Amino acid sequence: MAQAEEGVLKIERIPTNIVELIQRVGTHIEPQAAQKEIDLEFDLEVEHLLQLDPVRIEQVVFNLIDNAIRYTKAGGQVRVTVVETRGILEIQVTDNGIGISETDLPHIWERFYRAEKSRSRTAGGSGLGLPIVKRIVELLGGTVQAQSTPGKGTSIRLRMPAVHAKDLLKRNEKHGNSIDSKEERE
């Protein structure tokens, strides 16, 4: 988080298969969901390689799914949806967990903030996950929004530019530029 705030967090965009990346996260986190008998569903509708930072996107997706599982009761459901429409990549993680109050919702992006004050750091995390998610998404040129209803669940939606890797290659070739596989902008 400190790196992101100081502007030294490096974003390395490379051609990335977002479907494979999210499936990898799903495989890694599935045992956590299974332990709570949570139905973890994926709806992945992106067919192109996208110019993304796979390490940072994996961190974001893991964090969101981990939170959803953590705050969903046993037997609940967590759904991850990924679509690309008109140049926008949208990743949405929705659960039918405990939800977040209207009073707490605007503060979930603040460092160390916990909506459920009674949770210990061990049970409830450090309070850094969602602020890190927001900062990474912003560094990638995107936005993040949360909607929640106490007792019914939460939905976090990320939206960011979806630059197709092949389109970037064509643009660079047209202008006589070579592609740097570790493009560092921001």
Find the radius of gyration of the CA atoms of the chain.
17
Of 79, 100, 78, 80, the closest CA to residue 90 belongs to 80
Q: What is the pLDDT of residue 79?
A: 98
Angle, CA 104 vertex, CA 100 and CA 110 arms, to 5°: 115
Distance CA 123, CA 131 (A): 18
Of 133, 150, 159, nearest to 58 by C-alpha is: 133
Q: What's at 154, amino acid-wise?
A: T
- Could you read off the pLDDT of 30-70 as tens digits, one per residue? 999 999 999 999 999 988 888 899 999 999 999 999 999 99
Domain segments of the chain as ranges: 10-170
Amino acid at 59: Q
Look at residue 80 and give its three-state secondary structure: strand
Rounded to the nearest angstrom, the gap between the alpha carbon of residue 83 and the centroid of all alpha carbons in its chain is 13
Each residue's pLDDT tens digit, 110-148: 886 666 554 444 445 555 789 999 999 999 999 999 999
Share of the chain above pLDDT 90, in %: 61
Residue 45: DSSP 8-state: E
Number of residues that this document lists for the chain: 186
This prediction has a pTM of: 0.81
CA distance 69 to 37: 10
The verdict on domain 10-170 having CATH code 3.30.565.10 is yes
Task: Report pLDDT digits (tens) over 64-74.
Answer: 999 999 999 99
Q: Which helix (H) or strand (E) holds 82?
A: strand 77-85
